[in-house]
Structure 1
Amino acid sequence: MAGELTHTDYAFLILLNIEGREVSNAELDRAYGVRLVGESYARLNGLGYVDTRKSGSTYHHTLSSSGSKLIGSPIIVTDDGAEPKKGKGNGREQQLWAALWALHNSQHDRPRMAEPNGHRGLDERIRAVYAELATEPGAWVSLSRLRPRFGNVSKSELDKALERLLDASDVELEPEENQKTLSVEERRAAVRIGGEHRHLLSIGMR
């Protein structure tokens, strides 16, 4: 039952939903710094929210239809006992839960434009990674910190996704005002849009 799930369990469900595909523990670790193991692994598989297969020593996870249905609406956190349990997740997992919970619910509040197949998953991955890196919604995050989290995505593909995100009312991409302070990595990470190089990403302010 959903009431048996912890914050960390929900974070994994949201991550798998964002990816929209089968994801290995190694991929989760590289992209988000977490692995689906232990109590969360046993609970999510036991309740039928995640399907896992083992290939060699590697575990590959997929969000099941039941899991998709469960998080197909906002996750309500209240004081009446209906909220997910806090569980025993480490500090990083708890931070990830908080960021993903906010991201997940914001997606349900914001109307979406229809996107070609494959675009939505990458766009939501950018939002999830931004939520981890930003100190608060709307904070400026350098693209030099964002790009390393997308090692399996080409620069041109990520550039297109960043430009596509500008269609959303809560997304901004701006150049660094003081160009002299930019490092080589920051210059390389910039995305060129509208004839200018943009170095800083902000999500969450309208």
Structure 2
Amino acid sequence: MPEKFGAPERAALLVLMLESRQVPNPELANLHRVKLTPQGRARLNKAGLMRTSDDVRPMVHEITDEGIAWCLQDLVDGDLPPRSTSHARVVFGLLKKFVRHHQDRGTLVDVIRSRDIESLIRSVYEELAVEPQDWIRLARIRPRLNGAERGEVDETLVKMMKTGTVHLAPESNTKVLTAEDHAAALRVGSEDLHLVAMEES
């Protein structure tokens, strides 16, 4: 049985596992509605389940391998809070069956940690962009895509470009291009595209 934590700590770990990246504290609170107290944060860090980088502003949190293992065990053995609704209890029971099914087949981590490539690209872009429609180098985006296959990423970028809300362009000043820029470029026709900008969704 995994160590007991309160609902905010359990929720924080699940968010970090599903996001599979560093999550800024304001995003955890405002987007995911998880209010992690300093005491709860300290407990999770001390237990080695997540790492908090508080030398940057805002601070960011990232789950560890031990944290992932804890979450997977908690999904099977954990209990809902006493005042949970009947619907929540039924859904939680179904989730346990789902978890056990994939756990028995060794596919659970792959299912939980997988992310839609387009969502991942957008998420990384938003982390790097200073302002809306900021031009970001593909060489900065590709290394942050959790090892996604290049072919899948390229295909997804082309599909995103066809929506008209995602723009890819070559670097006009070729003298500033690095070896990383050349390697990360997306080839469309006879043109290498090095930069991406996205309109707000």
TM-score scaled by structure 2? 0.48
Higher relative contact order (CA 8 A, sep 6+): 1
Please tell me whether Structure 1 or Structure 2 has the larger radius of gyration of its CA atoms: 2
> Greater share of helix residues, 1 or 2?
2
